[in-house]
Amino acid sequence: MHSSTSNFNRPIPRQPWRGMTVAVAVGILIAVTCWEVYCRSLGYEPTLNDTSDLWTEARRRVQPESIVIVGDSRPWFDLDLDELERGLMKRPVQLAQAGSCAFPVLEDLANDQQFHGTIICSIVPRLFFAPAGPPLEESQKAVQRYHGQTWAQRVSHELSVPLERSFAFLKQQELTLPDLLNDIPIPNRPYAQVPPPLPPYFCSVDRERRARMVEQCVRPGRLQTRVKNGWAALFTPPPPPTYVPTAAFVAKMQKAVADRFRNTGICVDKLRARGGKIVFVRFPVTGQLKKLEDEQTPRAQTWEPLVQQTHVPGIYFEDFPDLASFDCPEWSHLSAGDSVEFTKRLVPHLRQALQINSVAVK
């Protein structure tokens, strides 16, 4: 009877393993270099990805008396942290997110018993009052990551930062395989509507999550036109589902908006009960996008009721000539240079709204 533990030696064929290893390494290096050169030829540059982990890193910097910026991409682009620090005597924490609803972050800060600082909250009605969908999910995802981030995710983020600062091809949401596949034009079909495409890469992001519009988008050209053309589809709500009666759908949407008004008031009351402050800001919007927003979300039905019901001071850019004179190159955000000047002009209005009377440190 043969033993099951009999010795067995698998011979390893003699191959030029060292040469094969070098060939593979050189091949990978050439492929990476070619892909990097190609991505840069398309206008991409090394920049940090604005991931939930980068947002979580910023959220951890929030102290009990911090100044915090929440909202959509407009304060992300339009506010200069250096000018805010100079004018408000404290460096703000940037928690605004592109294409997101501010409410989940506002709610998270309101429920944070340690926080009694100041919130600068951007209001884009189409996003702030979104009852569901990507704007709400984007903010909820960031808040959930902050409360549940694992050590593996944290270490992975720290390792990714130096790589993202070095390579342009590591741009998420555009240069990954799934995103490249999403660029394949597919027509709408019954019961399969293709969502509108997101704006392409047109900003850089640093470790403090400051966004700066790239120069290619500031100048009239292909990139600026592409970004402009995307706003109409993104800011136009999809048609109501055919399987829901119109009256029932409208009633549901009205209830969701009313709930957002009420819940925002609850968050404001919680914050104020701990001595915190908040100000709502409507940042510049121009061109066809402004016309679209004014038609779909009139000021009298969104901004005015929100300010009145919550008793929160509001700064609407059109009400102040020094803020209304700015032009957004792609209709929705300010250029890097204009963001500095806009912030300088905004600071006195913020100080008045927040009742900051002490002299700013020069």
Average pLDDT in the chain: 87
How much is the pTM?
0.85
Percent of the chain with pLDDT over 70: 91
Residue 192 has pLDDT above 80, yes or no: no
Domains of the chain: 52-184+200-353 (3.40.50)
Q: What is the pLDDT of residue 268?
A: 95
- Of 256, 258, 328, 254, which Cα lies nearest the Cα of 293? 328
Is residue 33's pLDDT more than 80?
yes
Q: Which tokens belong to 235? A: 């800011």
Q: What is the pLDDT of residues 88-146, one digit of tens each?
A: 999 999 999 998 999 999 999 999 999 999 999 999 999 999 888 888 999 999 999 99
Q: What are phi and psi of 157, to 5 degrees?
A: -65, -45
**Residue appearing with tokens 């930062």:** 161
Could you tell me the strand order of the sheet in which 118-122 lies? 93-94, 67-70, 118-122, 277-282, 314-316
Q: What is the CA radius of gyration of the chain?
A: 25
23-27, 173-177, 208-212, 299-303, range with the lowest pLDDT: 173-177
What are the structure tokens assigned to 255, written together?
């209830």
Quickly count: other Cβ atoms within 10 Å of residue 20's Cβ: 10
Tens of pLDDT, residue by residue over 221-247, are: 888 888 888 887 777 776 776 776 777
Lowest mean pLDDT across 17-21, 51-55, 107-111, 282-286:
17-21
Q: State the average pLDDT over residues 249-277.
A: 89
**Nearest 5 degrees, angle CA 37-CA 44-CA 153?**
100
For 8, residues 6+ apart whose C-beta sits below 8 A from its C-beta are none
Helices within 48-192 (DSSP H only)? 52-60, 73-78, 81-88, 103-110, 125-128, 134-148, 151-164, 177-182
Q: Which of 231-240, 285-294, 298-307 has the lowest mean pLDDT?
A: 231-240
